[in-house]
Amino acid sequence: MFDAPFDVFAVMFAIAAFLIALKASNQATELRRRLNSLEAALQAQRQIQPPPPLPVQEQVSTSATSAAEPPPLAPEAEAAPPPLVTEEASPPPLEASPSGDAPPSLPAPTPDIKEPGFEERLGTRWVVWIGGLALALGGFFMVRYSIEAGLVGPGVRVFLGGLFAAALLGAGEWTRRKESISNIQALPIANIPAILTAAGTAVAFATVYAAYALYGFLVPATAFVLLGIVAMGTLAAALLHGPALAGLGVVGAFATPVLVSSGKPDYWALYIYLAIVTAASFGLARIRLWRWLAVTTIVFAVLWVFPGLDTGDLHIAPHAFHVMSGFVLAALLVVCGFMFGPDIEDGQIEPVSSSALGAYLFGAMLIVLSSAHADLSLIAYTLLVAATLFVAWRAEAAAGALGAAAATVFIVFAEWAVRANPDMLVLPGGPVPGITPAATDSAVTQHLVMAAVFAIGFGVAGFLAQGRSNSAIIPVVWSAAGVATPIAILIALYARIAHLDRSIPFAILAVLLAAAFGAATELLTRREPRPGLAISTALFATGTLGALALALTFALEKGWLTIALALMSLGTAWIALQRPITFLRWLAAIFAGIVTARIGYDPRIVGDAVGTTPIFNWLLWGYGLPAASFWGASIFLRRRSDDAPLRMVEAAAILFTALLAFMQVRHLATGGDMIASPSLLEAALQVCVALAMAIGLERLQLRSHSIVHNVGAVVLTAIAGFISVFGLLFLENPLIWHIDVGGAVFNLLLLGYALPAVLMLLLAYATAGARGKVYANTIAGAALVFALVYLTLEIRRFYHGPFLTSGETTGAEQYTYSIGWLGFGVVLLGIGILANSERARLASAAVIALTILKAFVIDMSTLTGVYRALSFMGLGIVLVAIGWLYQRILFRRQVTPTVQQIST
């Protein structure tokens, strides 16, 4: 069928088949070795076990007759040859002792049974496997060579292929019978019969398929019958020869259309053949309960969906037949608890049962996407989704397929939503566009019908499934699919038809969906408690909130989506307070995470339409309302417990509060241009805001004891420190850069250096008792630095005007710096004495020490005349006065009275 580089593909299939069969053979050999050891041990146990004691009368009679009777035969002489142990054999049951005690423990395996070595494995197993693969591949490639070289005619090729297959099958059966007769147990089983039979089966598949698809010797009915006979023969042979033949057979059967190919693909012949192979493989897997065989078959069947999908000439009908036939066979034979599937306990979701249906749904979805949503592919896909709901309704083991069905439904509609086909719709003009009343394209109508069917089907089934199962997970899966699927479909239709613009019709649909979910929630709350009912009720309640949020999004501007999702988090937290369900707490945290991701995508929320009005702009609503919602949600959640969802919501509340403040500062400092360069005003306001929020969180965490509040305070302090050092002291320092600082007193220096110094001092006192001394003293030291910088810059502003970088530094200015620093140190000392603050006195000492350093390093070299003298005179007077204060007030010595003074 498919020419070309399929030789490599054939070798890949052969290697895969070899590995699968080798693993199965090793497992069977190991099992047989253990069973033989167990049988030998049981035989030895019977030999050494003494007979039970006889009564006295029986002992006398036995002793009287024992001399006349010949001795009995040895057990070895009477024992029949041990039967051939197959992989399906089970060890014989242990016989209970006459006294009723437990059977004695088995002796250790005999030492003569050894694990086969490398040479033994090579000579008895691997050579046989490689030989079997060589036989099968030789038959395939001989057919291929005869085709390419034109050695023999088509009829002769088919005849020789059938003859070769018959020879291999006959050899396999003959060796199986000989093996059972010869009963050679010294060597490990090499599975020669299984290898020969598997090779013959694969060649038989190829021969029949070539006679039908390549040469037209067989009509479809005859080919169908012959392929069915070969498939059934493979099934019967695998029942005799075990999993090795099953593995090789299924790999060879699925690889046959690749190895025996043709330049003109016939998809109907291919998929009819694959349906027969799939049925045989599923039937064998069902009889033997081989899950690995069912999974292997599903994987190969889904892989065969891909041929032809990437070409322009897609054959939709045969592809649809392939996935639908495979789905039906999987439902009949693989799904546990449904029709002919294996049995399973109620309330369990079986992975193979669910993944089997999900795999064929995935294949149907690929056909829909590759065919550009052709009508036939949509019909086939809709039927499979409906069949999934039906099978999952009847068999709880397949409930996991509901997730796959919901996911593929969303992918199909989402892909249709983003597909660039503007000619499919005729949208009316006007300020409020909506669904066109005259949509003429049939694809639009068909998608709308599909959307209604899916939304109603999933929603109604999710509601009716409540209370039907004794397991909690089953109704939760149904309710999750019933809530998520209609919402996902509505979002996809809104994106495709309304192009994410305002749409009153879609807002009405969202309100109706919210009403339906609300009614379901109310009905479920009145029912008697059942497994999973509480979580399902919470899911429907959350769907109500989600639909209402979508209604706001559809009816209002797109920036309201952020607000709506934040309000969903608040509403979910309130519901969690009323109904203590753990899932609802996580759901509130998930909504907070979605809003955070939305902000990361577009921090301005509404793009360029933020507005130019300070404070009262879209940032206030886009950040302020979510922040308030998250703070409220954290209050509701904290009333129950302090857990991970609460911390996530608290983190979102702190984040949005900080972003609101920072974004508003940037908006104010740049006049609404959110991408403008930073400035001294912005850096000053950012530092003040960060410090103020850090102080608030430090106070809050003393009451809440929340680790999030604790970490948030540290993070905001670090942000303030980063902006202070790199922004205010370097990048936006007016002493370095040509920056206009403004008026004489009320200027940017007051906002950028004095106010941060005060806030740092308050933060240091807020953390003094709650954190370590190093942390608080570091913040206090930063406050001292900024206060000194502010004093210095204000003195320079007095001498140089609003631009501090202009003009020369005079002697009077240098003297003023010394006087100002010295006065600042004295003020700090006075505060330290009056408030009895050691920290203030140490700060005073640091400032005075800096003043002394300046006097000896700078003033001595730059000042001249009277300024130099006054600088040192003033410094000396202040230092003497400070010494006197320390002696008389702080550290006044107590003089010990003498004896004379006491007597006096």
State how far the Cα of 831 lies from the Cα of 77, in Å rounded to an integer.
114
Dihedral sign (CA 496, 499, 505, 510): positive
In contact, 109 and 127? CB cutoff 8 Å: no
Task: Give 114's Cβ-side CA count (13 Å radius).
Answer: 6
Question: What sections of 530-581 are H helices per DSSP?
Answer: 533-555, 560-578
Q: What is the pLDDT of residue 331?
A: 93
Polymer length of the chain:
904
In contact, 510 and 547? CB cutoff 8 Å: yes
What are 391's two structure tokens?
């099978």
In contact, 640 and 586? CB cutoff 8 Å: no
Work out the number of other CB atoms within 10 angstroms of the CB of residue 580.
Answer: 12
**Quick one: how far is CA 579 from the chain centroid?**
27
Residues 6+ away with beta carbon under 8 Å from 691: 716, 717, 720, 756, 759, 760, 762, 763
Which residues is 740 bridged to in the sheet? Answer: 803
In contact, 133 and 18? CB cutoff 8 Å: yes
In contact, 197 and 170? CB cutoff 8 Å: no
- Residue 7's SS3 state is helix
Q: Would you give the DSSP letter of residue 340?
A: T
- Torsion, Cα 41 47 49 54, to 10 degrees, reads 150
Residues 6+ away with beta carbon under 8 Å from 425: 436, 439, 441, 444, 497
State how far the Cα of 818 lies from the Cα of 762, in Å rounded to an integer.
27
3-state secondary structure 797-840: HHHHCCECCCCCCCHHHHHHHHHHHHHHHHHHHHHHHHCCCHHH
Work out the number of other CB atoms within 10 angstroms of the CB of residue 49.
Answer: 12
State how far the Cα of 603 lies from the Cα of 674, in Å rounded to an integer.
10
Buried b (16+ CB within 10 A) or exposed e, 731-754: ebbbeeeebebbeeeebbbbbbbb
State how far the Cα of 164 lies from the Cα of 153, in Å rounded to an integer.
16
What are 375's two structure tokens?
């009508």
Q: What is the pLDDT of residue 571?
A: 85
**Quick one: how far is CA 229 from the chain centroid?**
46
Distances in Å between the Cα of 707 and the Cα atoms of 17, 314, 578, 723, 741 are 56, 59, 25, 24, 40
What are 615's two structure tokens?
């404070």
Q: What is the pLDDT of residue 157?
A: 63
Distances in Å between the Cα of 181 and the Cα atoms of 81, 165, 184, 190, 192 are 11, 25, 9, 16, 15
3-state secondary structure 221-251: HHHHHHHHHHHHHHHHHHHHHCHHHHHHHHH
For 26-71, give the DSSP string.
HHHHHHHHHHHHHHHHHHHHHHHSPPPPPPHHHHHHHHHHHTTSPP
For residue 742, report the phi and psi dihedrals to the nearest 5 degrees. 100, -150
State how far the Cα of 397 lies from the Cα of 338, in Å rounded to an integer.
9
Q: What is the mean pLDDT of each run of 10 residues along the chain (904 residues)?
A: 43 50 58 73 64 47 42 37 39 42 45 50 50 59 60 65 71 63 40 69 75 72 68 66 67 68 72 86 85 90 86 78 94 90 84 93 92 88 94 91 93 82 41 38 76 93 90 91 93 84 88 92 86 86 84 76 83 82 82 86 73 85 92 93 93 95 92 87 96 96 93 96 95 92 91 96 91 92 96 94 89 88 89 86 87 79 68 70 62 48 45
